[in-house]
Every structure is written in C-alpha cells, then in structure tokens.
C-alpha cells in the first residue's frame, strides 16, 4: 500500500487562498507541480464534483487544490513505478480524482499512459447514461 496524497494542509490552503498563497518551502514539497487551471479542467471539475463540491469557496481556488492533488498522485504513482519496475499500481481515490480528467490526465501529461479507469456506479453521478469513454474505461455496476 502506498500513500499518494499531498499534505491536507497544502490542499486546504490552496482551496482557501489559491496556489499563489503557498510559500517557497511549501512549493518545494510539491516536486515539479505547476498549477495552471484551464477551462477544460474547470469544466471537468464542475461535472465530476457538481455544484455541491466546492460549497461557498472560490471556485478557481477549489480547482487549483484539486489540480495540485491530481498532480501529486500522478507523480507519486510514477515515482513508485520507476523505483519498482514490473509493479502494478491500483489507485483507490476519491471519485473526481480518478475520472480520466483528474489524475489520469496528469499521468498522460507526464508521458505515462498505461492505465485503465474503473468508476463505481453512483446513482445520479456515475451511470451508463451520464459518463462515456472520455470519463472512464469501465463502470462497475452494482
């Protein structure tokens, strides 16, 4: 079992005050993470998390926090695989992070593309009629 997460203190700070609020020391703990939230990612976050996902937070900061999280999980997965050739990693993470627009996109951005996404069916969120191959490779139906 491998912990992929970034410090909760960092993601909470980014969600409240934005990526720019991080100190140089905090950014140093994020390896090579840059936080450039674009419209495609914002649209993904709206879809994956819905209106309830960010509450009364600044939505851009919420997206930045999710992007930092997705990046670190991708980097930690790749680092582990490089240090352990022949291994297979199964990532169990929150719903939005494992959609293809989340951590898998960050894997692809780092030239790592050997993955498959399996989302569990979640009534009203993840259903055969609401997701497609842009979101997941498989849906685990109950």
In Å, what is the CA distance from 107 to each residue of 4, 26, 39, 75, 122?
Answer: 13, 22, 19, 7, 24
Inter-residue contact 119 to 126 (CB < 8 Å): yes
The answer as to whether 52 is a domain residue is yes
* Structural domain containing residue 121: 8-140
- The pair of structure tokens assigned to 24 is 């140089």
The answer as to whether 36 is a domain residue is yes
Residue recorded with tokens 């879809």: 47
141: confidence class by pLDDT, cuts 50, 70, 90: confident
The answer as to whether 1 is a domain residue is no
Q: Using only C-alpha atoms, what is the Rg of the chain?
A: 15
Mean pLDDT of the chain: 88
The answer as to whether 110 is a domain residue is yes
Count of domains observed in the chain: 1
Q: Quick one: pLDDT at residue 54? A: 57
Q: Quick one: pLDDT at residue 55? A: 63
The answer as to whether 3 is a domain residue is no
**pTM for the whole thing?**
0.87
Backbone angles phi, psi at 139, to 5 degrees: -120, 125
The answer as to whether 98 is a domain residue is yes
Model pLDDT for residues 16-67, shown as the tens digit of each residue: 999 999 999 999 989 888 888 989 889 888 887 765 555 677 999 999 999 9
H helix intervals, 18-52: 24-28, 39-49
Q: Quick one: pLDDT at residue 81? A: 92
The DSSP secondary-structure symbol of 90 reads -
Q: Quick one: pLDDT at residue 130? A: 86
Q: Quick one: pLDDT at residue 114? A: 85
Residue 140's DSSP bridge partners are 120
The answer as to whether 2 is a domain residue is no
């Amino acid at each position: 079992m491998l912990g992929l997460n970034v410090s909760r203190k960092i993601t909470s700070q980014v969600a409240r005050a934005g990526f720019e609020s991080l100190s140089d020391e905090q950014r140093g703990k994020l390896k090579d993470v840059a936080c450039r939230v674009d419209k495609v990612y914002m649209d993904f976050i709206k879809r994956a998390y819905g209106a309830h996902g960010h509450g009364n937070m600044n939505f851009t900061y919420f997206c930045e926090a999710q992007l930092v999280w997705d990046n670190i999980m991708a980097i930690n997965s790749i680092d582990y695989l490089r240090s352990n050739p022949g291994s297979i990693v199964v990532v169990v993470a929150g719903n939005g992070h494992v959609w293809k627009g989340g951590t898998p996109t960050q894997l692809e951005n780092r030239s790592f593309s050997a993955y498959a996404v399996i989302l569990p069916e979640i009534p009203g969120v993840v259903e055969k009629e609401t997701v497609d191959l842009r979101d997941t490779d498989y849906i685990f139906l109950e």
